[in-house]
Amino acid sequence: MRRAATVISLIIAAFIVFAAPAETVFAGPLVIKDESRGIGVEDSTAPERDRSLQDGTLVYSMTPVYPEDAEEGEYEPEVISDSRFFKIVHSDLTNRDGRMEAVITISSTSYAYVFQGTAEQAAAADKSEWIAADEKDGYGSFTVSVEALNKEIPCAAYSKKKQKWYDRNIVFLADSLPEGSVKIEMNAEGGTIVDTQDAALQVIYIALAIIVLGGILNHFVKRRFYE
C-alpha cells in the first residue's frame, strides 16, 4: 500500500512538472554589460554609433533601431517593462522627421506622472518636466520620446499611493513592427531577459521531470528484480 502511494505521488509530481507554465519573471538580469557577448555601454560621444554594444537590463545583443533606421509612419510596437507594477498594455508610436514619440498605456491609474530619467533626477527636476497621466477607463497614458527601439529607456514613475518616485525602465521591441519597417539588418540572436528566463525555467522543468520519471522507473526495476 505504501509503495502504491509512493508511485502515485511520483506520477502526480511528474504531471505537475510538465503542466507548469513558464512564468514571465522580471527579476534581475541574467546577462548584462558583458562585452564578450556583445553587450556593453554605447559611447554617445563616438562619431558613429556602435551597434555591437547595447546598454540596458531588459535586452541583450539586440540591435538598436534609431529613427533613421525605420520607415516613417505610425506603429503599435510591443513594449516591455522591468516592473510588473508598470505593465504597458498598448503603445502608439510615431516616427517622423528624425524623431520617435510614443503614447504608452499602462494597466492602471496608479501613477500620476512619469519622467524620462531616474527617480532621483525626477525628484530634483522642475514639475514642468514631469509628464502627467492621461487617465481613461482605468488606464493611464503617457507621451514619451523614444531615442531608439531595442534600447532601454529610463522612465521613472510617481506613485499616487506612496507619493514617491520609482525607477522604471522600458524597451520598445523592433521585431514587433510590421515586416519591412526596419531598414537595417537585425541581430537574429538578440532577445529579452524574459526570453532567457523562460528558457531557463523550461530546462529546470525538464530536469525535474527526468529526476521524477527516473525515480518511478527505478522503483519498478527494483520491484521486479529484487522482490
CATH code assigned at 69: 2.60.40.1850
pTM of the model: 0.66
C-alpha cell at 87: 505593465
Grid look-up 502627467 returns: 132
pLDDT, tens digit, 9 for 90 and up, residues 6-65:
545 555 555 544 444 433 333 333 333 434 433 344 444 555 544 444 444 587 778 899
Q: Is residue 214 part of a domain?
A: no
Contact 111, 158 (CB under 8 A): yes
The number of residues making up the chain comes to 227
Flag whether 150 is in a domain: yes
The answer to whether position 177 is within a domain reads yes
**Tens-digit pLDDT profile for residues 110-138:** 999 999 999 999 999 999 999 999 999 99
Is residue 82, in this structure, part of any structural domain at all?
yes
12 belongs to a structural domain: no
- Reply yes or no on whether the pLDDT at 171 is more than 80: yes
Question: What gap in Å lies between CA 50 and CA 52, rounded to an integer?
Answer: 5
Q: What is the mean pLDDT of the chain?
A: 77
pLDDT at 121: 96
Domain count along the chain: 1
The DSSP result for 152-219, as a single string, is -EE-EEEETTTTEEE--EEEE-GGGSPTT-B-S---TT-EEHHHHHHHHHHHHHHHHHHHHHHHHHHH
Domain that holds residue 114: 65-182
Residue 213 maps to a domain: no
Question: Which range, of 37-41, 212-216, 219-223, averages the lowest pLDDT?
Answer: 37-41
The reply to whether 190 falls in a domain is no
